[in-house]
C-alpha cells in the first residue's frame, strides 16, 4: 500500500526547497478541520505548531499546489487540454460603472462580476484582497458594493509609508487563510478572486470534498506570471536600478511587462527579466499562468488599456458572464467587423499561450534543477 504523505513530507519537498508559495492552503485546512497541527509563521511559512496533533491524514500534502498531487483528477474534472486548459470563449470587456472604471486595475470586470453576483443574491460574500498599505493588501470578505470597490484596482494607499510596514513589501495576499472562517460567519455561497496557486489549492480541496471549500461557489482567477516580495536592501537596489523612488508609485500592473505609474502621472514599462531578483522564489517553480481551473480567468495581457482580457472557462463562468453582460454590468470591446474581432481574439490567445509556455518552461527548468539536488532555500 502506498504510504500517505504528511506535513513532514510537505516540509521536506516544498518548504525546505524554497518553493512554498505561502498560499496558506495547508494551514487553512488543518485548522478549519480542528486538527490544529499547523500554523503560519510571521514570515507566512507553514510549520508544525503541535506535531502531536498531526493525524498524518496527508491532506495538507495533497492540496498543496506545489506537489502535483491530484493534478490528474483536476485535469479530468475540468476537461483540461493543452496548452492552457479548457475554455469556451475569450473576450475583452470593461465595467459600465464609472466609479469602478476610475479605480480598477484593467477593465474592472472582476469587480463588476462580483457586484452582479452580490446584487442578484447569487453569493453572499466574496474573498478579495484589500489595500492595507503602499505595497501590502489583506484578504477580506466583501459583502457590499462598498467593500468590493475598496478592494478594486492595483493602486496604493498614500496613508501608510514604506517604513511603517517593517521593511517587508509584497504584492502577494495569502487569501486562503480567510477560507477557514467562512462557516463561522454563516456564509453559504462565496466567490473567490485568487492567483493560480490559490485557485489550484481550492480546487484540490473541492476535489477531496473538504469543508469549508464546498462554500466556494465561484472562482475568478487572475493571470499571474509572478509576485514580488522584497526587503529594505532589495528595495534600495531596485530604486537604484529603475532610478525611481518607490514612495512615488501610485499603481503597479503587469501585462506584457511590469507597468509602474508614478504620482507625477509618468508610466514606466520594465521588462519582467529586470525585476526577477525581487520575484518570489516559489513563483519560478509555478507552472500555471492563465489560472487554468478558475470559472473565469482574467488579466490585462492582450487587451488595450481600460479592458480586461477574460477567458470564460466553465459553463458556470460563461453563464455568469453572459448574464452580467445582458444586465449591463459589463460591456465588450467593439470591433469594426467580424474579421477584426477574429484577428484581435487570435492575437489575444497567442499572447496568453506564449506567456503560459514561457512560465511552464521556466518552472520545468527550475524543477529539474531541484530534482538534481539544488535547494532554493527561503529568499522571500
Positions in the binding site for ligand SF4 (CB under 6 A):
6-7, 10, 14-15, 20-26, 29-30, 35, 37-38, 46, 54-60, 64-66, 172, 195-197, 201, 224, 226-227, 280, 282-283, 286
Closer to ligand FAD by Cβ: residue 305 or 340: 305
Q: Is residue 82 within 8 Å of residue 29, measured between CB atoms?
A: no
At CA 18, angle to CA 287 and CA 273, rounded to 5?
55
Closer to ligand SF4 by Cβ: residue 83 or 328: 83
Q: Judged by CB under 6 A, how many residues of this single chain contact ligand FAD? A: 35
Closer to ligand SF4 by Cβ: residue 94 or 300: 300
Closer to ligand FAD by Cβ: residue 38 or 224: 224
Residue 108 binds ligand FAD, judged by CB under 6 A: yes
Residue 292 binds ligand FAD, judged by CB under 6 A: no
Q: Which stretch binds ligand FAD (CB under 6 A): 7-15, 52-60, 165-173, 234-242?
A: 165-173
- The sign of the CA dihedral 348, 65, 132, 129 is positive
Contacts (CB under 6 A) with ligand FAD, residues 177-196: 193-195
Residue 219 binds ligand FAD, judged by CB under 6 A: no
Contact with ligand FAD (CB under 6 A) among 60, 254, 311, 320: 254
Distance CA 126, CA 268 (A): 32
Task: Quote the least distance from Cβ 285 to ligand SF4, whole Å.
Answer: 8
Closer to ligand SF4 by Cβ: residue 124 or 287: 287
Within 10 angstroms of residue 269's Cβ, the number of other Cβ atoms is 10
Among the listed residues 331, 334, 333, 305, the one whose alpha carbon sits nearest the alpha carbon of residue 95: 331
Query: How far is residue 11 from each of residues 42, 50, 368, measured CA to CA in Å?
Result: 17, 14, 19
Closer to ligand SF4 by Cβ: residue 108 or 194: 194
Task: Quote the least distance from Cβ 259 to ligand FAD, whole Å.
Answer: 9
Give the cell for residue 318: 460563461
Task: Quote the least distance from Cβ 266 to ligand SF4, whole Å.
Answer: 27
**Burial class of 96 by CB neighbour count within 10 A (0 to 12, 13 to 18, 19+):** middle
- The sign of the CA dihedral 266, 271, 277, 279 is positive
In the bound state, the residue with its beta carbon closest to ligand FAD is: 299
Residue 173 binds ligand FAD, judged by CB under 6 A: yes
* Contact of residue 151 among ligand FAD, ligand SF4, none (CB under 5-8 Å per partner type): ligand FAD
* Contact of residue 87 among ligand SF4, ligand FAD, none (CB under 5-8 Å per partner type): none
Query: How far is residue 238 from each of residues 20, 233, 275, 376, measured CA to CA in Å?
Result: 24, 9, 8, 21
Residue 172 binds ligand FAD, judged by CB under 6 A: yes
Q: Which stretch binds ligand FAD (CB under 6 A): 36-44, 104-112, 204-212, 237-245?
A: 104-112
Q: Name the residues that contact ligand FAD, by CB under 6 A.
A: 104-111, 128-129, 137, 151-154, 171-173, 175, 193-195, 222-225, 227, 253-255, 298-301, 308
Amino acid at each position: 500500500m502506498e504510504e500517505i504523505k504528511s506535513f513532514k513530507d510537505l516540509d521536506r519537498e516544498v518548504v525546505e526547497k524554497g518553493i512554498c508559495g505561502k498560499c496558506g492552503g495547508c494551514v487553512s485546512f488543518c485548522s478549519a478541520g480542528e486538527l490544529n497541527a499547523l500554523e503560519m509563521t510571521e514570515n507566512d511559512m507553514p510549520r508544525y505548531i503541535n506535531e502531536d496533533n498531526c493525524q498524518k491524514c496527508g491532506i495538507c500534502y495533497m492540496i498543496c499546489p506545489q506537489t502535483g498531487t491530484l493534478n490528474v483528477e483536476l485535469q479530468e474534472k475540468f476537461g483540461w487540454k493543452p496548452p492552457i486548459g479548457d475554455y469556451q470563449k475569450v473576450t475583452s470587456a470593461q465595467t459600465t460603472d464609472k466609479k469602478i472604471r476610475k479605480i480598477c486595475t484593467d477593465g474592472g470586470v472582476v469587480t463588476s462580476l462580483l457586484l452582479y453576483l452580490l446584487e442578484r443574491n447569487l453569493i453572499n460574500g466574496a474573498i478579495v484582497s484589500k489595500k492595507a498599505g503602499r505595497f501590502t493588501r489583506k484578504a477580506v470578505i466583501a459583502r457590499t458594493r462598498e467593500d468590493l470597490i475598496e478592494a478594486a484596482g492595483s493602486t496604493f494607499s498614500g496613508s501608510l509609508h514604506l517604513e511603517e510596514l517593517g521593511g517587508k513589501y509584497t504584492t502577494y495576499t495569502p487569501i486562503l487563510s480567510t477560507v477557514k472562517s467562512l462557516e463561522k460567519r454563516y456564509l453559504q455561497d462565496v466567490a473567490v478572486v485568487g492567483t493560480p496557486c490559490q485557485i489550484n489549492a481550492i480546487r484540490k480541496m473541492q476535489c477531496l470534498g473538504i469543508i469549508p471549500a464546498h462554500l466556494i461557489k465561484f472562482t475568478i482567477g487572475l493571470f499571474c506570471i509572478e509576485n514580488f516580495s522584497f526587503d529594505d536592501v532589495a528595495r534600495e537596489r531596485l530604486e537604484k536600478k529603475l532610478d525611481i523612488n518607490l514612495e512615488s508609485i501610485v499603481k503597479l500592473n503587469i501585462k506584457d511587462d511590469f507597468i509602474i505609474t508614478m504620482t507625477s502621472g509618468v508610466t514606466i514599462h520594465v521588462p519582467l527579466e529586470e525585476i526577477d531578483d525581487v520575484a518570489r522564489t516559489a513563483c519560478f517553480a509555478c507552472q500555471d499562468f492563465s489560472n487554468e481551473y478558475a470559472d473565469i480567468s482574467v488579466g490585462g495581457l492582450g487587451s488595450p488599456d481600460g479592458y480586461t482580457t477574460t477567458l470564460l472557462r466553465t459553463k458556470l463562468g460563461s453563464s455568469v458572464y453572459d448574464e452580467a453582460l445582458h444586465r449591463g454590468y459589463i460591456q465588450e470591446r467593439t470591433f469594426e467587423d467580424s474579421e477584426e474581432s477574429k484577428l484581435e481574439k487570435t492575437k489575444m490567445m497567442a499572447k496568453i499561450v506564449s506567456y503560459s509556455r514561457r512560465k511552464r518552461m521556466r518552472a520545468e527548468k527550475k524543477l529539474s534543477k531541484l530534482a538534481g539536488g539544488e535547494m532554493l532555500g527561503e529568499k522571500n
